[in-house]
Amino acid sequence: MLAVLAALRREQYGYTLRKTLSEHGLEIDEGTLYPLLRRLETQGLLASQWREEEKRKKRFYLLSSEGALVLDQLLAEWRSIDASIHQVLKEQAHGND
């Protein structure tokens, strides 16, 4: 979810979003991605619009202002957890020495 919100700071449609995530090592299948995008939109964290591109109608998603706030909070939480885990691993590594 964090990765999806972060990637949608730039407007993208589902397929390119999936490719972007995949290129960054985050494989997510379409069966998970599209329901997630719908839930995030229902929660007001994303905004979407149908637009024609390359002769095909596509739904483009973009992080909403509320989504940007939630993303900042989630990132802060994630960094805090990451720091805690690092601390635990560091203490264990010292204990083993």
Residues that bind another protein (CB under 8 A): 13-15, 18, 29-32, 34-35, 38, 50, 56-59
Nearer to another protein, 57 or 94 (CB): 57
Helix (H) or strand (E) holding 25: none
- Output 30 or 72, the one with its CB closest to another protein: 30
Three-state secondary-structure class, residue 56:
strand
Phi, psi of 7, deg, nearest 5: -70, -25
Of 15 and 78, which has the nearer Cβ to another protein?
15
Shortest Cβ distance from residue 9 to another protein (Å)?
A: 21
51 Cβ neighbours under 8 A, 6+ residues apart: 57, 58, 59, 60
